[in-house]
Amino acid sequence: MNSDFHYYATYCAAQLAGYSHEDSQSIAYSAQMVDFCTRTLLSTLKAPLSAATTQLQLELMDARTDIAGLQDITRIWASFHFLPYDLNALPPKRCCKRYRDKYRLICKPNGELLSATVSLAKDKSLQAVGVAMHVLADTWAHQNFAGTPSLVINNTNSWFYELLEDGNGFTERKLNFRHSASSPDDLEHSLYTSSLYSNSENSIMNLGHGRAGHLPDYSFIRYEYLPAWGQYEVIVKDNPSDYLHAFAQMVYAMRWLRGETDDFALDAYAWDAVEPYRDEIERIIKTRQLDASADWKALGERLSGQTIESFRLEKYQEEYLNAVEEEKDDTFLGRLFIAALAQKSMVTGRIYQSGSKLAGYSVDYRQKGFKGIRDFKRLIRSSRGGKRQ
Amino acid sequence: MSRFQRVKSFTAGILMILFALLMLLAPEEFYDTLAAIISFMMIIYGLRLLIYYFRMARHMVGGKSTLYQAIVVLDAALFTLAVASMNSFIIMMYLLGIYAFSGAVDILRAFEAKRNGASWKMKFLTGCISVLFAVMLVITGVVLKKTEILVYGFGISLIYSATVRIASAFRRTAIVYIQ
């Protein structure tokens, strides 16, 4: 998903969930920041590097693919962009543990970890809500790929067809890929950019949906393809339907986070809130365009009657830089970093408890006290305070 | 990393440094050894591909291509082991790939860090050194036909990898889990 959905659509969803204009902007800003919070940015802010929620292309190219490097990559991408669906899943055929561990990181919506992610944001900051909404939305867009470098899971071949509505159903059109990162996708000629084929299992070329290019990030497209793990079964990816579900689920989740409903259930959606705007939302989602920001922004401004600020990366940086050390965690970005550390800690902990070390080692603080990366002391401090951030 | 992985990483790092130092002290004697090492590395790579196919890639759509690659690599490795004169070219390509690629990535990373306001000079410097080394390899290895430089190049890259291995053996990697 791109900024159109993570920023503007999240704002719209927050509005429909009942948040004020200001709170909706904070949630949308935080959701969008998940795609910008790199180590490069954190080092500029002298912030905890473990709060990184994404990696720049060159950071990835520079990353080591030894055990520790791979675990670091997996922690970031599995925690924030490819939330695993079922950590106890069994592949259809008998296989080795290494394959099974990777298979279990495949992302899909409505997994148990999604419930844990949304619950983690309950009674926490608006930034935590934003982070959770990013993760939730990505479980729909990025499904069927895993947040760890893996050829056997994330590879795709050239068998890709777009499904175009023709009145009576769908016609197929072949999709083609090129590997020039600087070239924009060409919708007219169905020419998309994807990562290079690499036969190395742990190459960063095989991370997430890199091999399928940005197809999962476009709301309008329907396509069919053969995922590497799928035993030659064709998967039809219906992004318009998935994006609509993601939107309705975000509204549902945020209603629960606001305390409007008693329980958070999986596979539940706030269709009642979406219904009055469904035609407009479906129109935005189905329009063939690389960036739907203007359409979502117009809808958001209609919902709130307020002007939505454009996303500015540097908006809260000065506040963080100028804050004294003890007060940094109470700034806007400080709260975002705490939310990121909490999400990473939770997902890594769950993956480790499932018997997989792909995301690294996790030390249970209640049982063993503090052991590990020092950045997480902030998280301990924050949870000890127990205050609403 | 587990304790065993840390010990393994540390020990391998120390052994690599010792071997690299021996190479740097007597490059003439080590040229043939280096050529053999590169061939054996290719054999090991071919065998690893084969194991990878049977453990992982056979489950994957189009996984058979891994099996074919393994066979081709093993064949090429055995061939280069037999034809010693081929080795200097392979070593050259190997080292050029390492230095030119890592240098280019470092320089691009430095520009990116500069754009984002982060520190960039050190990265830029290491990138330039790597690219310079790649150029030196081409001049001395291909133009002047001096093979000692290949041993020096390999030795230095070995020391670098060993240092990173040792450093990562001491790095804190565990994530704190708060329920």
**Could you read off the pLDDT of A326-383 as tens digits, one per residue?**
899 999 999 999 999 999 999 999 999 999 999 988 888 878 787 778 888 888 888 7
Distance CA A321, CA A333 (A): 10
Which positions in chain A touch B56 (Cβ < 8 Å)? 95-96, 98-99, 151-152, 201
Instruction: Kindly report the nearest CA distance between residue B3 and chain A, in angstroms.
Output: 11
Query: Is residue B145 in a domain?
Result: yes
pLDDT tens, chain A, 389 aa long: 888 999 999 999 999 999 999 999 999 999 999 999 999 999 999 999 999 999 987 788 777 778 888 999 999 999 999 999 999 999 988 899 999 999 999 999 999 999 999 999 999 999 999 999 999 999 999 999 999 999 999 999 889 999 998 888 889 999 998 877 777 888 888 889 888 888 889 988 899 999 999 999 999 999 999 999 999 999 999 999 999 999 999 999 999 999 999 889 999 999 999 999 999 999 999 999 989 999 999 999 999 999 999 999 999 999 999 999 889 999 999 999 999 999 999 999 999 999 999 998 888 887 878 777 888 888 888 877 744 43
pLDDT value of residue B1: 66
Query: Is residue B174 in a domain?
Result: no
Chain A residue with minimum CA distance to B109: A58
Please give the mean pLDDT across all residues of chain A. Answer: 92
Chain A window 180-199: which residues touch B at a Cβ cutoff of 8 Å? 199
Instruction: Kindly report the nearest CA distance between residue B26 and chain A, in angstroms.
Output: 30
Q: How many CA atoms lie within 13 A of A244 on its CB side?
A: 19
Tokens read off for A370: 């503090």
> Count of domains in chain B?
1
Query: Is residue B175 in a domain?
Result: no
Most confident of A49-58, A268-277, B8-17, B109-118: A268-277
pLDDT value of residue A389: 38
DSSP per-residue codes, A178-192: E--TTSPPBTTTTEE
Instruction: Kindly report the nearest CA distance between residue A205 and chain B, in angstroms.
Output: 15
Query: Is residue B177 in a domain?
Result: no
Tokens read off for B170: 């001491």
pLDDT value of residue B117: 67
With vertex at residue A62, the alpha carbon angle to CA B51 and CA A355, rounded to the nearest 5 degrees, is 50
Which residues pair with residue A160 across a beta bridge?
A225
Distance CA A12, CA A19 (A): 10
Q: Is A84 helix (H, G, I), strand (E, B) or coil?
A: strand
Tokens read off for A311: 């996303």
CB atoms A373 and B63 under 8 Å: no
Residues in chain A: 389
Average pLDDT over residues B21-32: 76
Query: Is residue B176 in a domain?
Result: no
pLDDT value of residue B174: 67
Q: How many interface pairs between A and B have CB atoms less than 8 angstroms apart? A: 142
CB atoms B168 and A66 under 8 Å: yes
Q: Is the pLDDT of residue B89 over 90?
A: no
Query: Is residue B83 in a domain?
Result: yes
pLDDT 10s digits, A105-149: 999 999 999 999 999 999 999 999 999 999 999 999 999 999 999
Q: For an interface test with A, which of B176, B178, B179 has the most A Cβ atoms less than 10 Å from its Cβ?
A: B176
pLDDT value of residue A220: 94
Distance CA A221, CA A350 (A): 33
Distance CA B1, CA A357 (A): 9
User: Helices marked H in chain A — which ranges?
Assistant: 3, 10-17, 21-33, 39-45, 57-62, 67-80, 97-103, 112-120, 126-141, 151-154, 239-257, 271-274, 278-286, 293-304, 317-322, 332-353, 365-368, 377-385
Contact B116, A42 (CB under 8 A): no
The residue that leads in pLDDT, B61 or B170, is B61
Average pLDDT over residues B45-53: 93
For chain B, say whether A49 makes contact (Cβ under 8 Å): no
Q: Is B113 helix (H, G, I), strand (E, B) or coil?
A: helix
Which positions in chain B touch A369 (Cβ < 8 Å)? none
Which positions in chain B touch A50 (Cβ < 8 Å)? 175
Domain of B146 in residue numbering reads as 3-169
Q: Is A164 helix (H, G, I), strand (E, B) or coil?
A: strand
Distance CA A191, CA B93 (A): 33
Distance CA A255, CA B12 (A): 54
Q: Is A16 exposed, middle or buried (0-12, 13-18, 19+ CB in 10 A)?
A: buried
CB atoms B174 and A361 under 8 Å: yes
Query: Is residue B74 in a domain?
Result: yes
CB atoms A201 and B59 under 8 Å: no
pLDDT value of residue A388: 40
Distance CA B41, CA B114 (A): 38
Provide the pLDDT confidence category of residue B102 given band limits of 50, 70 and 90: confident
For chain B, say whether A158 makes contact (Cβ under 8 Å): no
Chain A window 278-337: which residues touch B at a Cβ cutoff of 8 Å? none
pLDDT value of residue A386: 47
Distance CA A114, CA A106 (A): 13
Could you tell me what percent of chain B has a pLDDT over 90?
13
Instruction: Kindly report the nearest CA distance between residue B67 and chain A, in angstroms.
Output: 11
Tokens read off for A216: 């999962």
Query: Is residue B131 in a domain?
Result: yes
pLDDT value of residue A105: 97
pLDDT value of residue A30: 97
Distance CA B4, CA A365 (A): 23
Chain A window 79-98: which residues touch B at a Cβ cutoff of 8 Å? 91, 93, 95-96, 98
pLDDT value of residue A51: 95
CB atoms A228 and B1 under 8 Å: no
Average pLDDT over residues B11-40: 79
pTM metric for this prediction: 0.84
The residue that leads in pLDDT, B147 or B126, is B126
DSSP A330: G
CB atoms B168 and A40 under 8 Å: no
User: Helices marked H in A171-233 — which ranges?
Assistant: none
Contact A8, A309 (CB under 8 A): no
Chain B residue with minimum CA distance to A98: B56
Distance CA A373, CA A356 (A): 19
Residues contacting residue A337 through CB under 8 Å, at least 6 positions apart: A37, A42, A47, A48, A51, A329, A378
Q: Is the pLDDT of residue B85 over 60?
A: no
pLDDT 10s digits, B143-159: 777 767 777 777 887 78
Contact A121, A339 (CB under 8 A): yes
Distance CA A236, CA B72 (A): 35
Distance CA B79, CA A86 (A): 46
**What's at B30, amino acid-wise?**
F
